[in-house]
Structure 1
Amino acid sequence: MTKRLQHELTYDAPLAEVAAMLRDPAFREKVCERQRVISHDVTVTADGDAADVTVERVQAVTGVPAVAAKVVGDQITIVHREAWRDLTAGDYTVGIPGKPGQISGTVSLREAGGRTVETVDLEVTVSIPLVGGKLEGVVVDLLKAALRTEHEVGVKHLA
């Protein structure tokens, strides 16, 4: 089974400003701080309009169903990567080293009237018999919460 997550984040800023923010290590650090992670490491490399953004974070596992806590334990390492081909589109992956599952898809930016919409389109697969579908739902909910936090920090960052 696979669950799909498509989430839009709208910013009152031109595309170039939003793209710069998403490539800014200081912005990514603020997001990690707001998410109250245990530790994090942000790496950004750029080549013209292309960029590779990797955020590795360790966070406590709280507020998830018991079946999810059993699989991941009381803390988890998450590796989030955005491989931007240019200012408007890239590949988006989230990995949990040593855990069964895959989260991958795309990220894109589009501007209209001075506002920019970031669209994250992901497929979430957890390869565990019997409980995989339930865990996929939990992962989608956690990803939505993380994207909402990123958006809140982004709105303040751009203000």
Structure 2
Amino acid sequence: MSTIDLTPLYRTMVGFDRMANLIDSASRLDGAQGYPPYNIERVADDAFAIEIAVAGFAEDELDIETNENLLTVAGKKAASEDGEERQYLHRGIAERGFLRRFQLADHVIVTGASLQNGLLRVELLRELPEAKKPRKIEIGSPSQPKSKPKLIGKQSAA
């Protein structure tokens, strides 16, 4: 696929620069993003999980970090403890280092992570602040002040 010029989006979408940047960066992904494979699962309305296949990695070889709205999962294979290089007849498990990034939506936080059977599971939760939650507005008559506000302190006689 050839590159797509997103310049018209920048001219017509005021205040949506971040969305246009995401579209632009998604279109530039290369084939290196295929390792390690992952799943994204909706657990509940506001809960999600990312499962990443990290066969051969131990907990201390994995690093999970969030910064603003970016979740970064990195794996770095430690050198063998005995110092000997293993000789493989067939090597199907890559065990190579990786860096996988996920762009998180606003108000999505990481609540935990676990490693079981070669799958790293990162739990996510969307927590909207009260100010962002929808609220019902009652329709009524406009409020009018019942009396003049009282002045506190010294009043001068006119």
TM-score, reference length from structure 2: 0.28
Q: Give the number of the structure with larger relative contact order, counting CA–CA contacts within 8 Å between residues 6 or more apart.
A: 1
Larger Rg, first or second structure (1 or 2): 2
From the two aligned structures, give the one with the greater helix fraction.
1
